[in-house]
């Protein structure tokens, strides 16, 4: 085989794969494909320097990763606003119409798949990275796994830089086969197809991902020069070039799997008809659908409408109604949370809802059980509407056969057997040494919004606790390599990475430390307020000090006082171990921005939360809406109505460079700027 023959063979294999996996129209037999594939592989073994980047042999690598690296999205991956009925859809459309020509407005409609979002970056026509959604700004680098998915082209015709966003899904039949294999192998079952898709995408061994039959269906575009892209890939008119529908048709033409039922609608009635059509197809369609995406078709109008702090104004998810199923309550067990709250959980005779095997459902509290008249051995109605956790909406007393028994309200903790405190709707274990409370406190302490200890997730904490390696939060800081060597799955590198992550918490931001303590009623926002207002001596303050803080109520202040009083020795010990840093208190008091109100709009080079955190650390307030009291508007690209309103009110408008220049002139802000960068 010559080089020219080899390149033609690669092209032929890719064409055959496209017809098989994407078009569902095979044009070659399995035998023909396998024969040519092995010829290509034999040539590559003899000529490794000539291996084509889009060769099908390059889809599965032999490398097994230790962990996933992080990768930043060029443009943020937004979430969609949910609407649940016709009235909410009409209200959403009316909001859109305020900034549009009613007669010219049209909407691009497509199914909303229940899977895992993925962001593909192509440069010079080559797939260079694939990342999970993550926190919308930074995801995990799963390029190695994405390359194994046949419906993701390794090479496309467009040579510019482009982010192509879509959903990684697994078909219902493939999901059933996968769970059957796991059942036969004694492995834990996946809860639903979305869970299976996300888990398969995050395998450290790409060969495992390759076996999972994942599909990628694009639904949008991130960073891209849209004018250049449409000019390069389309011969349509300028009107079509302003169309999201046309944009997606050009994406599909690059070799991507086309989303079914995509159409243009020019009225609410047409949208409702499309919605009814999709609901009718919902059960029979091979992939789980949980709604329909409604998007303004005009790209220029999308840019004009812009974004809220969480979602685009030009698109929404019209969710399907919840699926109801009947299930039998076999028993009611009790869970003990971090704060000691006892939560009853219904143990159900297993049923399937939208591909998910459901055997448990939270009952929230005993008032809920009484209100819904739920007894053990009752039949109940269960719903799941795109949520991982199902919900019991009512019992069916008419089906009782005399075997039903009420669920008694507990008087003792199911874990430590201490007396429980009944507090209106809540029942609580007051024993701070209760194993369930301690374990959940450690899990919270290490979590992302707390100390963010990489590698110390829920399962690892449970393993360490259940094997007696740790008994309290403080024990984390005395762990040594020898303590972890005998644990299953803990190799030298994993052990060292975990110990390094724990050590790296020393000198962490004070607000993270406060949030990690798990004080009842004190969340992330309150923790930042405490750190900014009082600094490291926050625990020495009084009820009057706390209640004087903006946003602090009596419950919060009382809870904080009680916690600091009861846990003072532990607090002092943890402060000694971690030495959290508060660089914000003096700068807050001295800052010229203290008391100033900012609003942030448009697409920025950094996450809005980072700028919000920095501005608040300097004493400024960050609001979500423009008013006469607004002092500054921080404005990025694709700014919407906030920019126009700020201009009409004469509010000072800053871009990122101007804000940074302003901050660099403030006392103590240089260090903060370095931190945000």
Cβ atoms of 264 and 295 closer than 8 Å: no
Q: Which residues carry out catalysis?
A: 112
Concatenated DSSP letters of 251-287: HHHTTPPPPTT-EEESSHHHHHHHHHHHHHHTTTSSS
CB 556 within 8 A of CB 540: no
Residue 64 in tokens? 């097994």
Q: Is 646 helix (H, G, I), strand (E, B) or coil?
A: helix
Nearest to 487 by CA among 465, 464, 503, 471: 464
Q: Please state the separation of Cα 108 from the chain's center in Å.
A: 25
Give the span between the Cα atoms of 507 and 675, in whole angstroms: 13
Residues 6+ apart with CB under 8 A from 381: 324, 325, 326, 392, 393, 394, 395, 396
Chain centroid offset of residue 615 CA: 25
Q: Is the C-alpha dihedral spanning 182, 344, 460, 434 positive or negative?
A: negative
- Backbone φ, ψ for residue 130 (5° rounding): -135, 130
Distance, in Å, from the CA atom of 548 to the CA atom of 544, rounded to the nearest integer, reads: 6
For tokens 């194994």, name the residue: 148
CA-CA distance, 299 to 526, in Å (whole number)? 39
The answer to whether 68 and 141 are in contact (CB under 8 A) is yes
CB 385 within 8 A of CB 334: no
Cα angle vertex 34, ends 31, 40, to 5°?
A: 140
Nearest CA to 197 out of 221, 230, 172 is that of 172
Nearest one of 662, 673, 655 to 601, comparing CA atoms: 655
- The answer to whether 624 touches 289, Cβ cutoff 8 Å, is no
The H or E element spanning position 197 is helix 193-201
Structure tokens at 562: 């009680």
Residue 493: C-alpha distances to residues 469, 485, 666 (Å): 19, 11, 43
CB atoms inside a 10 Å sphere around CB 670: 12
Q: List C-alpha distances in Å: 298 to 106, 229, 399, 608.
A: 7, 16, 54, 26
- Closest C-alpha to 578, from 477, 483, 671: 477
Cite the beta strand spans of 297-376 per DSSP E: 315-319, 323-336, 342-353, 356-362
User: Which position has the token pair 């329909």?
Assistant: 292
CA angle 339, 531, 601 (to 5 degrees): 100
The residue behind tokens 């996946």 is 190
> Whole-angstrom Cα distance, residue 157 to residue 165?
17
- Token pair of 481 as six digits: 């390599």
Sheet harboring 621-623: ordered strands across? 621-623, 597-601, 632-635, 652-654
């Amino acid at each position: 085989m010559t080089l020219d023959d080899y390149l033609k063979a690669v092209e032929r294999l890719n064409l055959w794969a496209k017809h098989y996996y994407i078009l569902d129209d095979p044009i070659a037999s399995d035998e023909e494909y396998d024969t040519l594939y092995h010829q290509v592989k034999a040539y590559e073994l003899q000529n490794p320097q000539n291996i084509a980047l889009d060769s099908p042999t390059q889809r599965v690598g032999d490398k097994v990763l230790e962990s996933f690296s992080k990768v930043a999205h060029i443009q943020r991956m937004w979430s969609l606003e949910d609407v649940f009925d016709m009235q909410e859809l009409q209200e959403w459309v009316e909001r859109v119409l305020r900034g549009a020509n009613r007669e010219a407005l049209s909407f691009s409609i497509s199914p909303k798949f229940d899977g895992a979002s993925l962001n593909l970056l192509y440069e010079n026509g080559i797939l260079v990275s694939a990342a999970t959604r993550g926190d919308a700004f930074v995801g995990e680098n799963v390029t190695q796994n994405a390359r194994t998915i046949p419906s993701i082209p390794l090479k496309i015709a467009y040579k510019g830089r482009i982010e192509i966003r879509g959903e990684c899904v697994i078909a219902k039949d493939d999901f059933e086969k996968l769970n059957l294999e796991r059942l036969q192998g004694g492995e834990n079952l996946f809860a639903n197809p979305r869970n299976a898709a996300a888990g398969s995408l995050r395998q450290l061994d790409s060969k495992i991902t390759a076996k999972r039959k994942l599909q990628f269906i694009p639904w949008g575009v991130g960073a891209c020069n849209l004018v250049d892209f449409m000019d390069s890939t389309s011969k349509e008119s300028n009107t079509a070039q302003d169309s999201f529908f046309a944009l997606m048709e050009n994406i599909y033409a690059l070799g991507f799997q086309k989303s079914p039922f995509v159409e243009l609608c020019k009225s609410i009635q047409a949208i409702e008809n499309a919605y009814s059509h999709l609901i009718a197809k919902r059960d029979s369609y091979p992939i789980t659908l949980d709604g329909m995406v409604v998007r303004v078709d005009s790209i220029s109008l999308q840019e004009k409408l812009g974004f809220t702090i969480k979602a685009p104004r030009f698109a929404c998810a019209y969710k399907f109604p919840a699926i109801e199923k009947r299930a039998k309550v076999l028993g009611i067990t009790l869970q003990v949370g971090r704060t000691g709250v006892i939560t009853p959980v219904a143990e159900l005779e297993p049923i399937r809802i939208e591909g998910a095997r459901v055997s448990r459902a939270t009952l929230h509290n005993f008032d809920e059980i009484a209100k819904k008249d739920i007894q053990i051995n009752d039949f109940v109605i269960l719903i799941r509407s795109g949520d991982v956790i199902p919900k019991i909406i009512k019992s069916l007393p008419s089906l009782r056969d005399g075997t039903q028994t009420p669920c008694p309200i507990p008087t003792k903790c199911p874990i430590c057997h201490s007396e429980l405190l009944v507090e209106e709707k809540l029942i609580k274990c007051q024993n701070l040494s209760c194993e369930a409370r301690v374990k959940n406190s450690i899990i919270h302490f290490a979590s992302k919004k707390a100390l963010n200890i990489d590698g110390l997730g829920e399962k690892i904490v449970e393993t360490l606790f259940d094997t007696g390696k740790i008994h309290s939060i403080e024990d984390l800081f005395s762990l040594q390599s020898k303590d972890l060597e005998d644990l299953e799955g803990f190799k030298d590198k994993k052990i060292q990475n975990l110990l390094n992550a724990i050590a790296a918490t020393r000198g962490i931001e004070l607000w993270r430390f406060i949030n990690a303590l798990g004080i009842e009623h004190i969340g992330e926002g309150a923790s930042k307020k405490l750190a900014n207002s009082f600094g490291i001596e926050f625990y020495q303050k009084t009820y009057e000090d706390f209640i004087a803080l903006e946003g602090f109520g009596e419950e919060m202040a009382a809870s904080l006082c009680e916690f600091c009083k009861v846990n003072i020795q532990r607090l002092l010990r943890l402060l000694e171990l971690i030495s959290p840093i508060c660089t914000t208190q003096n700068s807050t008091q001295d800052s010229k921005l203290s008391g100033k109100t900012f609003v942030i709009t448009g697409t920025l080079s950094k996450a809005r939360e980072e700028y919000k955190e920095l501005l608040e650390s300097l004493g400024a307030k960050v609001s979500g809406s423009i008013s006469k009291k607004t002092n500054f508007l921080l404005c990025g690209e694709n700014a919407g109505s906030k920019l126009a309103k700020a201009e009409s009110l004469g509010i000072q408008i800053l871009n990122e460079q101007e804000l940074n220049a302003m901050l660099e002139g403030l006392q103590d802000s240089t260090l903060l700027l370095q931190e945000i960068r």
